Structure 1
Amino acid sequence: MNIFSRTKARHQVDEAQIKVTNWKLACGALFLLCVLQAVGFIVYPKLIKIHHPPDTSKSMLTALNEIPPAQVQGFSFMILQQLNNLKDDGKYTAENQLTRLRCFMTEDYFYLKLRTARNASLSFNDRNRAMSVYTAIPPNPYEQVTILTPTSWNVKLYTTITESAGGELIKDNVPFLYNLQVVADNSDPSCNEYGLKLAGENDVPRRIRTEIN
């Protein structure tokens, strides 16, 4: 009888030790899970990219003559980028670009830019310039395009400019804000298939100040 009692007691002790071991393993696994979750909260937000959906405040259907803000912004940047791409000899490139893109500007704005280019011709000598999107402020037509009338808009363009003169780099991806006027004009679709034109500038291009650590 005593032998069976000792065996039963030993069996209970073994079961208790197994349960303790299982609890230790479970607690260890939970602790490891908490550590991994804490690391995830710190690291993964830096790796996550959030893709905002398009403007859903109204139906995706547009009226026959309605021009979406995204189209206005894309057109504005395309023309502005080409006007600011100067290669080899900026003195002649600037005027050539203006002449080539005349269909995409109103007459008043074209002659204003032409006079500006000619007045600055000396500073354009041996100058190369390239413009790109300022990625720190991604294009957002629903915030950066202001609808004035169904056929006129104000457009803010956040860009960067890289410029060299005489082979020496003088601007390296310097961010600038352009505030342009755009109007609808379908008077010559054979020359301008977009039906839009740059009409002016609301302000001089302003350099965007960035923090330097």
Structure 2
Amino acid sequence: MSRFRHALAERDAHILTLKSVIVLLCLCLAGVGYGWYTAPRNLTLYFPPDLRTGSTRPWWEVPPASVYAFTFYIFQQLNRWPDNGEEDYTRNLRALRAYLTPACQNWLDHDYQLRRDGGELRSRTRGIYELPGHGYSSRVEGDDKRPHPRVEVLGRDAWRVTLDVAVEEYYQNEPVKKALVRYPLQVVRYAIDAEINPWGLAIDCTDSTPQRLITEAKP
């Protein structure tokens, strides 16, 4: 009888061990399922422009080239008035709201009102273009006459971008302004809604007065 009792005890112990393993596996599966459910569905990764060589960087780090490309693209779209500045400017402000910080949006709204009240927008078209040789690969001289990068990293979530562009404006197809301007723009991380702003960046307007390089204007 002792042999049978010992066998039954071993069977019960084995069953208890199997139950414990099953419970442990269920807990592990529940944890994996919760982690899978809460994991982000989309993750923005930044790659260097030249993929012929490898690159190792933290996933959250935004390369300066990407910051420059974002800044120039949004700034160019903001200043593109193909038909009538009085309508195009305010339409651009609404369309690009997700790519501007609230403070910058308020500043541009005020700028629009001043230009509209001053008669600088009606029947006026505008466009800006990057100056040849002044793109991201080139370097710009600062006030101290020393070369600085086009994108200056101010911190993990902030950058200063220098754009050298040509600004052209026309009034009823007549050229009224052509200027070469250097814009120092502030850019910050702005990962609020990836659906409407996949870049995760926003322009925080200028951090100093734009510098006019060459100007050709007609009254």
Query: Which TM bucket (shorter chain)?
Result: 0.5 to 0.7
Letter in 1 for 2:162: K
Q: Which runs of 5 or more residues in structure 1 are unaligned?
A: 1-53
Task: Describe the superposition over 1:15-55 as per-residue Cα deviations: whole angstroms up to 9, x where unpaired.
Answer: xxxxxxxxxxxxxxxxxxxxxxxxxxxxxxxxxxxxxxx89
Letter in 1 for 2:159: W
Alignment check: 8 A CA contact 1:109 1:198 kept: yes
The residue aligned with 1:191 is 196
The 1:65/1:158 distance shift into structure 2, 3 A limit, reads same
Deviation at 1:166, TM superposition (A): 2.4
The residue aligned with 2:109 is 114
Q: Higher helix share goes to which structure?
A: 1
The residue aligned with 1:51 is none
Q: Secondary structure at the match of 1:117?
A: helix
Q: Say which of 114, 119, 123 aligns to 2:120.
A: 123
Task: Describe the superposition over 1:138-157 as per-residue Cα deviations: whole angstroms up to 9, x where unpaired.
Answer: 32387111101111001100
Distance 1:78 1:203 in 2: 20
The residue aligned with 2:163 is 157
**Is residue 93 of structure 1 aligned with residue 88 of structure 2?**
yes
Letter in 1 for 2:102: E
Aligned residues: 153
Distance 2:94 2:138 in 1: 28
The residue aligned with 1:80 is 75
Task: Describe the superposition over 1:77-98 as per-residue Cα deviations: whole angstroms up to 9, x where unpaired.
Answer: 0010011101211011101101
Deviation at 1:205, TM superposition (A): 2.3
Deviation at 1:60, TM superposition (A): 2.4
Alignment check: 8 A CA contact 1:73 1:141 kept: no
The residue aligned with 2:9 is none
Distance 1:139 1:69 in 2: 9
Computed over aligned residues only, the root mean square deviation of the Cα atoms, in angstroms, reads: 2.0
Query: What's the % identity of the aligned pairs?
Result: 27
Letter in 1 for 2:170: S
Q: Secondary structure at the match of 1:128?
A: strand
Per the normalisation by structure 2, the TM-score is 0.65
Per the normalisation by structure 1, the TM-score is 0.67
Q: Secondary structure at the match of 2:113?
A: helix
Greater C-alpha radius of gyration = 1
Alignment check: 8 A CA contact 1:179 1:202 kept: yes
The residue aligned with 1:179 is 184
The 1:163/1:192 distance shift into structure 2, 3 A limit, reads same
Distance 1:77 1:198 in 2: 10
Alignment check: 8 A CA contact 1:89 1:126 kept: yes
Distance 1:80 1:190 in 2: 20
Distance 1:203 1:140 in 2: 23
Letter in 2 for 1:148: L
Letter in 1 for 2:189: A
The 1:91/1:120 distance shift into structure 2, 3 A limit, reads same
